Structure 1
Amino acid sequence: MDKLRAMQAFIHIADEGSLTAAARVMESSLPAMVRTLAAFEAQLGVRLFNRSTRRISLTEEGRRHLESCRQLLATLEDAEAALTADAGEPAGHLTITAPMLFGQMHVAPAVTRFVQKYDKMRCSMVLLDRVVNLLEEGIDVGIRIGMLDDSSLVAQPVGHIRRLVVASPAWLRRHGVPQHPRDLLKANCVRVTDHATAWGPFNDKGRQLRLAVSGNLEFNQIAPAVAACAAGAGLGMFFSYQVAPFLKTKQLRCVLEDFEPPPRPIHVVYPHARLLPKRTRVFIEWIKEELRPFQG
């Protein structure tokens, strides 16, 4: 058995989610891929995948061994690249995760431009509004907003975003412009489910102030909440990137800027590795440049 090819097959099966797709990527036949996986599992003495007629998924042993195989092949790839002075374009597969709306607005277009420039690259994007375990879920690079608490990751700061209170000009004319965060307690606030009641922390003369706001509209997604505020439904609290198009067209206006919470950092994160594959290194530099506007 060619162990390196078996490792490659194992990674492709995990990345593609099926033996058929992995065989296509490796330009092999399905029976050959089945034999390779069976021989690899037999050599290791463990089952790497749970298989049924409809789906294939990693076992716990498979998840652990997947990262080891990725690191081993990455080290080999870098060693070979070093012999040729890292020549040539990046190639291979990258999986990238980002928050849903930020990913849609800023990361996905950057990834699209990346694969257009480097046509030997294939990228998969996973947009989720939860903290993803990169190692367990086989993700190469993540974009994170907010403070980090996972010391197992390498994190590079790429910028920051503000948290703003906004309303439509029409709503502010009817109800008045709030002068202090406590004015929010008497106003109709459009809320988002995950942080529906506690807004803040506002900076009130060096003290942090959180407020249990209320209102007659609540959404489980950001986009309709922003649209409702732009339509004059009430005040909303959002990240700056979420409302940027509406601020630009003056459909929304910022209020309480003197009490604004501290900005939240944006990081590009990836697992610790002595040697990263060239594709990962090139993408990290690419996304840092793409997100440069958030450094201001």
Structure 2
Amino acid sequence: MDTLRAMRFFVRTMELGSLSAVARDLETTQPTVSKVLALLEAQMKVRLLERSTKGPVPTEQGLRFYDQAKSILEQYEGAVSSVQGLTEEPTGLLRINAPVAFGQFRVNAWVQEFLRLHPGISVELILNDRFIDLVEEGVDVSLRLGAELPPNVIGRHLAVVPRLLVASHSYLERRGAPLHPDDLVSHDFVRFAWSPGNMIDLHRAGKTLSARTNSRYRVNNALAIREALALGSGIGLCPEWLVHDLLTKDELVRVLPEWTASSQDLHLLYPSRRYQPLRSKLFIEFTANQFIGLPGFYPPS
């Protein structure tokens, strides 16, 4: 029996809590996962998991073995990464997570370049707008905008992203430009569907003001918001990276330009384990370099 492989199956079972989830994650079948775990228990002569209708439940011995097995696997991956670093031939699957719009707008193109640079690496790019558990979902690297960092991860602060009020010329010619944040309530405000309420906080010269908005159109995709604004659907509050090119081409203009919302922080996250596979290290450095001079992103203070 391949003991390292069996330990990996056990560790992922502990983290995912489902044999079917482990099978999907490790690209095998549920019966195979069950068989490998049974062989591991037989080899060790100890019960690691209790089977129940709700899924596998670790025994006391299983809980203790999990910490040791995870540490051994991390040391093994570190040793492999060290050897790969000497040969400069990184290999394996890299699972990357990013917000949907940012992933489509930026990360997808970066991944193509990264793959060209490293032919031995394959990538699975997972785009969603929720904060995920990197360990539970088997993600190596995640790019996240805003909000507090989740626990059990290491975060590298890559950039600060300003957020601006913008609209098209056609909309402003039709409805007039607001002169004060209080005027926003009488305009059509295009906003992200999951944003709570209708209030936005705006800042100017150290002063903060809460302005009410009226949203006839909400959408759960930032690229759709970008397109709607360019089509003249209303005023929107957007991260600068999303609309910088449209502002440059004068397809959108700043609204209330002296006012801004709180900036977003962009972090690159990875699991808080001691050893990182070489492919992860390479992508982390590669991605950090993409933000040098990139419009809409500013170095963290």
Structure 2 length-normalised TM: 0.78
Aligned residue for 1:136? Answer: 136
Identity level (%): 28
Instruction: Report how many residues are paired.
Output: 283
Q: How far does the alpha carbon of each residue in 1:46-72 deviate from its partner, in whole angstroms, 9 at most, with x for none?
A: 459999xxxxx98565xx888975653
SS at match of 1:270: strand
Shift of 1:261: 1.9
The separation in 2 between residues aligned to 1:15 and 1:251, in whole angstroms, is 48
Shift of 1:286: 1.1
Matched, 1:295 2:298: yes
Shift of 1:271: 1.6
Q: How far does the alpha carbon of each residue in 1:210-252 deviate from its partner, in whole angstroms, 9 at most, with x for none?
A: 2231143232333333322211121111222222343243221
Letter in 1 for 2:24: G
Distance change in 2, residues 1:137/1:85 (3 Å): closer
Stretch moving more, 2-11 or 187-196: 2-11
SS at match of 1:108: helix
Aligned residue for 1:27? Answer: none
Would you say the 8 A contact 1:193–1:220 is kept in 2?
yes
The separation in 2 between residues aligned to 1:186 and 1:258, in whole angstroms, is 19
SS at match of 1:224: helix
Would you say the 8 A contact 1:155–1:268 is kept in 2?
yes
Aligned residue for 1:17? Answer: 24
Distance change in 2, residues 1:83/1:36 (3 Å): same
Shift of 1:132: 0.8
The separation in 2 between residues aligned to 1:250 and 1:274, in whole angstroms, is 48
Structure 1 portions without partners, runs of 5+: 24-29, 52-56
The separation in 2 between residues aligned to 1:226 and 1:178, in whole angstroms, is 20
The separation in 1 between residues aligned to 2:112 and 2:50, in whole angstroms, is 32
Letter in 2 for 1:119: P
What are the residue-to-residue correspondences of 1:176-255 with 2, within 5 Å? 176-195=176-195, 197-255=197-255
Q: How far does the alpha carbon of each residue in 1:104-133 deviate from its partner, in whole angstroms, 9 at most, with x for none?
A: 111122122222221211221221111111
SS at match of 1:194: coil
SS at match of 1:162: strand
The separation in 1 between residues aligned to 2:9 and 2:182, in whole angstroms, is 59
SS at match of 2:201: strand
Letter in 1 for 2:285: E
Would you say the 8 A contact 2:85–2:278 is kept in 1?
no
Shift of 1:266: 0.6
Distance change in 2, residues 1:180/1:70 (3 Å): farther
Structure 1 length-normalised TM: 0.79
Distance change in 2, residues 1:125/1:66 (3 Å): farther
The separation in 2 between residues aligned to 1:212 and 1:197, in whole angstroms, is 9
Shift of 1:102: 0.5
The separation in 1 between residues aligned to 2:50 and 2:107, in whole angstroms, is 32
The separation in 2 between residues aligned to 1:113 and 1:291, in whole angstroms, is 15
Shift of 1:267: 0.8
Letter in 2 for 1:272: S
Aligned residue for 1:26? Answer: none
Shift of 1:199: 4.5
Distance change in 2, residues 1:152/1:77 (3 Å): closer
Aligned residue for 1:175? Answer: 175
The separation in 2 between residues aligned to 1:79 and 1:188, in whole angstroms, is 57
Distance change in 2, residues 1:276/1:81 (3 Å): closer
Aligned residue for 1:54? Answer: none
The separation in 1 between residues aligned to 2:199 and 2:67, in whole angstroms, is 39
Aligned residue for 2:256? Answer: 256
Distance change in 2, residues 1:67/1:139 (3 Å): farther
Shift of 1:255: 1.5
Stretch moving more, 197-206 or 90-99: 197-206
Aligned residue for 1:36? Answer: 36
Would you say the 8 A contact 2:185–2:214 is kept in 1?
yes
Q: Report the aligned-residue RMSD.
A: 3.5
Shift of 1:22: 4.0
The separation in 2 between residues aligned to 1:32 and 1:150, in whole angstroms, is 33
The separation in 1 between residues aligned to 2:193 and 2:32, in whole angstroms, is 49
Aligned residue for 2:127? Answer: 127
The separation in 1 between residues aligned to 2:289 and 2:50, in whole angstroms, is 38
